[in-house]
Structures are given as structure tokens and as C-alpha cells.
């Protein structure tokens, strides 16, 4: 076997390390792609949001790829300690600059993972009531009944109480009614409950209910409580108000209105 010249032999260790480094990078690249697909499949299998799966899959791929690059550079003989310190410092700077966005991202992950609401649910969050159109990693989009689109940062959504109006499949609405003093309480309740039941949007189970809730300055006050679906909530309130108003008039039950008496100087 011919002897390798000394001028070439001195570069052999570096060449071998270089080849091994390339192999580490190639294997790491393949493993990163496999890890990404595995994460996405796991997320889909658990029924979580696909956007969340793609994000975590990409993060996993880049993490494995970065480890492979660092390992390959170390095999070649490049000192990676300073390089990792630079990456860490850069990551800290970016994190401080994007802390608001990172808070929204963390909140988005919590929403997608714990699922306090789903697409097309009607919810109240951050002071807005609407139907969920999109659940993003940074913001949630709601469509309100007046056809306005509200894009709410996820940190604001999770920062307060979330009311899911669709979770139970039904929602209760209340209609305030005031009648004149002297009216028969039992008659008022019977008339209004019968009127509320006429609405096709009012559920029969649970049945409508009514309560005597107060004695105001010029009226005795009641509330009619009716259940309906979230989609017909506004229609139900309209129907119940209309039927109760007509029924009270047909039965001669007075609906008072406030009056103001102005005294003249010589009457005081």
C-alpha cells in the first residue's frame, strides 16, 4: 500500500472531521423533517388545531436542525460556545422587543390547547359579544350581530372572563316589563307567560318563567325569562316584547310612563 505523503496526511484528520460533520448535518436535517411530521400528526390525532400543530412542528424542526448545525460545527473543530452565547443574546433581545406579541402567542396556545370555545361559537370576551370566525396564534376574530369584525389580541381574550354562549346549546334572555301600581300581580304574570309562549323561538324545556323583581317610582317591575338558541336570541327578545306588549293592552293592564310636574312660582 503506497504511503500517503506527509503534506496530505496532515490534512486527513480535518477531512475526516469535515465528512463526519456533513453526515451529522444531513442526518440532523432528515431527523428534523421527521420530527416535524411526527408533531403535526400527534396534534391532529389529539384533535387540536392544525395551525398549532404546524407551528410546533416548525419549531421542533428548527430546534433539531440548530442542534445538528452546532454538533457539525463542533465536529469540524469550530468553537460553538461563543456562537451559542450570541444566539442566546439575540434571542433575549428579540424576546424583550416582542414581549407583547409573545404574550398574545402564549395566550393563543392556551386557547387552542384548552379550547374554552370553538369556531362559530358565540362568546363574550374583552367586552365584545360575537361569533368566533378565527382562532389565531396571536388574535381571535369575532363577528358581531351588527356585521362588524373585531380582531382581539389573545392576551386580552384570556385576560378576563370568557362567556361561551354556545357551549350548552341554549341561552336565557330576560325581558323587563313595568305595569301600573294597582295591577293584579298574578294576572300580569299569567298574561305575560302566555304571551311569551307564543313565540316560536322560545323553548318549552325549560319553560318560560317570570318574577316580580321590584317596585319602582312609577311602576311595579317584572322580568320574563325565556330560553332559546344562540342564533335566535335577538329574535326571541323581539318576539317576547311584542307579544307581551300586545297582551297587556288587550287585557287592559296599564303600562305607565314617567311624568314630570312643573310648579309655577305662585303654586309653590
* Residues 19/72, Cβ–Cβ less than 8 Å: no
Torsional class of 252: left (φ above 0), alpha (ψ -120 to 50), beta (otherwise): left
Of 189, 204, 200, give the one whose Cα is nearest residue 251: 189
* Residues 115/158, Cβ–Cβ less than 8 Å: no
The number of folded domains in the chain is 3
**Residue 39 resides in a domain:** yes
What is the pTM (predicted TM-score) of this model? Answer: 0.58
**Residue 43 resides in a domain:** yes
Q: DSSP label at 11?
A: T
b/e map 153-181, b = 16+ CB within 10 Å: bbbbbbeeeeebbbeeeebbbebebbbee
How confident is the prediction along the chain (268 residues), in pLDDT tens digits per residue?
Answer: 455 555 555 556 666 777 777 888 888 888 888 888 888 888 777 766 666 677 677 778 878 888 888 787 777 776 666 666 666 666 666 555 545 677 888 888 888 878 899 888 999 999 999 999 988 878 899 999 888 999 999 999 999 999 998 888 899 999 999 999 999 999 999 999 999 999 999 999 999 999 999 998 889 999 999 999 988 988 999 999 999 999 999 999 999 877 666 766 665 5
Can you give the pLDDT at residue 1? 47
d(Cα 112, Cα 201) in Å, to the nearest integer?
33
Q: Is the peptide bond before 206 cis (omega within 30 degrees of 0)?
A: yes
- Same domain? For 28 and 87 the reply is yes
- Same domain? For 158 and 181 the reply is no
Q: How many CB atoms lie within 10 A of CB 123?
A: 23
* Residues 122/130, Cβ–Cβ less than 8 Å: yes
Can you give the pLDDT at residue 112? 80
d(Cα 189, Cα 225) in Å, to the nearest integer?
12
Which residue range(s) make up the domain with 153?
A: 116-164
Q: What's 14's domain CATH number?
A: 1.10.287.1260
Q: What's 147's domain CATH number?
A: 2.30.30.60
Can you give the pLDDT at residue 92? 61
The answer for residues whose C-beta is within 8 angstroms of residue 205's C-beta and 6 or more apart is: none
Can you give the pLDDT at residue 224? 97
- Same domain? For 226 and 152 the reply is no
3-class SS letters over 213-251: EEECCCCEEEEEEEEECHHHHHHHHHHHHHHHHHHHHHC
**Residue 91 resides in a domain:** yes
Among 39, 65, 97, give the residue marking a domain's end.
97
Amino acid at each position: 500500500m503506497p504511503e500517503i505523503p506527509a503534506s496530505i496526511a496532515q490534512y486527513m484528520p480535518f477531512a475526516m472531521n469535515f465528512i463526519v460533520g456533513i453526515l451529522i448535518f444531513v442526518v440532523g436535517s432528515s431527523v428534523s423533517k421527521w420530527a416535524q411530521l411526527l408533531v403535526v400528526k400527534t396534534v391532529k390525532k389529539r384533535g387540536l388545531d392544525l395551525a398549532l400543530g404546524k407551528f410546533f412542528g416548525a419549531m421542533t424542526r428548527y430546534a433539531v436542525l440548530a442542534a445538528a448545525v452546532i454538533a457539525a460545527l463542533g465536529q469540524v473543530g469550530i468553537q460553538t460556545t461563543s456562537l451559542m452565547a450570541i444566539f442566546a443574546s439575540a434571542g433575549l433581545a428579540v424576546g424583550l422587543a416582542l414581549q407583547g406579541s409573545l404574550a398574545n402567542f402564549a395566550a393563543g396556545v392556551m386557547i387552542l390547547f384548552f379550547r374554552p370555545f370553538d369556531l362559530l361559537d358565540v362568546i363574550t370576551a374583552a367586552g365584545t359579544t360575537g361569533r368566533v370566525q378565527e382562532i389565531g396564534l396571536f388574535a381571535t376574530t369575532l363577528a358581531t350581530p351588527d356585521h362588524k369584525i373585531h380582531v382581539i389580541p389573545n392576551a386580552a381574550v384570556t385576560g378576563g372572563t370568557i362567556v361561551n354562549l354556545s357551549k350548552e346549546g341554549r341561552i336565557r334572555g330576560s325581558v323587563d316589563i313595568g305595569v301600573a301600581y294597582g295591577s293584579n300581580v298574578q294576572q300580569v304574570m299569567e298574561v305575560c307567560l302566555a304571551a311569551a309562549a307564543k313565540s316560536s323561538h322560545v323553548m318549552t324545556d325549560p319553560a318560560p318563567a317570570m318574577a316580580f323583581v321590584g317596585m319602582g317610582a312609577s311602576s311595579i317591575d317584572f322580568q320574563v325569562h325565556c330560553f332559546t338558541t344562540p342564533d335566535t336570541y335577538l329574535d326571541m327578545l323581539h318576539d317576547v316584547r311584542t307579544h307581551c306588549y300586545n297582551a297587556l293592552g288587550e287585557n287592559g293592564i296599564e303600562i305607565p310612563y314617567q311624568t314630570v310636574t312643573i310648579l309655577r312660582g305662585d303654586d309653590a
